[in-house]
Structure 1
């Protein structure tokens, strides 16, 4: 027996596919290209739709995170606006727990000064390669990241509006 179409639940889109997340994903990809002169994701077609680009970024094997443009020296500082699947798995958080989190909470208190300094350097230069630091997941487990790229995010008016990071080299401590 067939179900009447009107009784089927309407699937809700994944949180990382929301308009704000799509905008963040495109901003991350475009700003990386601007900062480093090369694409963040290899193999992504130039004519890929915004949805295809967002899906590729979310599915990337390397963790990618981004936070808003709030002053890193203020309390609580920038808040995360994006985390791909690899970042969510590494930090052991769901999208709703990660996005909106003060980004400083991804590091232990004694590591936050070094993190803040690296973010300021990346902001001043618009990009930084080779960053290393210690981070902490939601359960308190520490891990070392190495060779991270940090870059400034730019809005449609050409103004800085946040920062992003990507790394593929990490290990548990």
Structure 2
């Protein structure tokens, strides 16, 4: 029996469902063009993981840890799934950029979403890149509780 990829586990399929529903709630539009009623959770997880836009999510603990990163995000940050998931999300930005990043996340939390975030991030080797027009939104679980935040962006360049 073939081993399931980490981004295809039932747990991650459930998280992807939360990501997609929360995005629709925040922006009144789908995150994926194929996001429609009746799409299987497995197919949605596969499509989001393979999307050309970078998508990440962190939990809502005191020092939020990454709980999701798709293939595009993994390539940008030059990390594997195992290196990225569980890492404090603040480490995606250089030390000098973390205060501004935290302020933007707080603003997104207060409004449930923002859609024009730009900021500098840093890969595993210390190389910086700019992201532009990122959407950041609150994740809501099945009981209607905040359970984290997610971000998606398609525009970036190396500095």
TM-score by length of 2: 0.97
Instruction: Show the counterpart of 2:85.
Output: 99
Asked if 1 retains the 8 angstrom alpha-carbon contact of 2:134 and 2:154, the reply is: yes
Runs of 4+ in 1 over 6 A off after TM superposition: none
* Residue 133 of structure 2, aligned match among 147, 151, 155: 147
Instruction: Show the counterpart of 2:155.
Output: 169
SS of 2:126's equivalent in the other structure is coil
Question: What is the Cα-based RMSD across aligned positions, in Å?
Answer: 0.8
SS of 1:118's equivalent in the other structure is helix
**Which protein has the larger Cα radius of gyration, Structure 1 or Structure 2?**
1
Q: Deviations over 1:58-109 (max 9, x none)?
A: 11000000000113xxxxx100000001001111111010000000000000
SS of 1:28's equivalent in the other structure is helix
Instruction: Show the counterpart of 1:6.
Output: none
Q: How many angstroms does 1:24 deviate by? A: 1.4
* Residue 51 of structure 2, aligned match among 60, 68, 92: 60
Any unmatched runs of 5+ in structure 1? 1-9, 72-76
Q: How many angstroms does 1:43 deviate by? A: 3.1
Please give the alpha-carbon distance, in whole angstroms, between the structure 2 residues aligned to 1:140 and 1:97.
15
Any unmatched runs of 5+ in structure 2? none
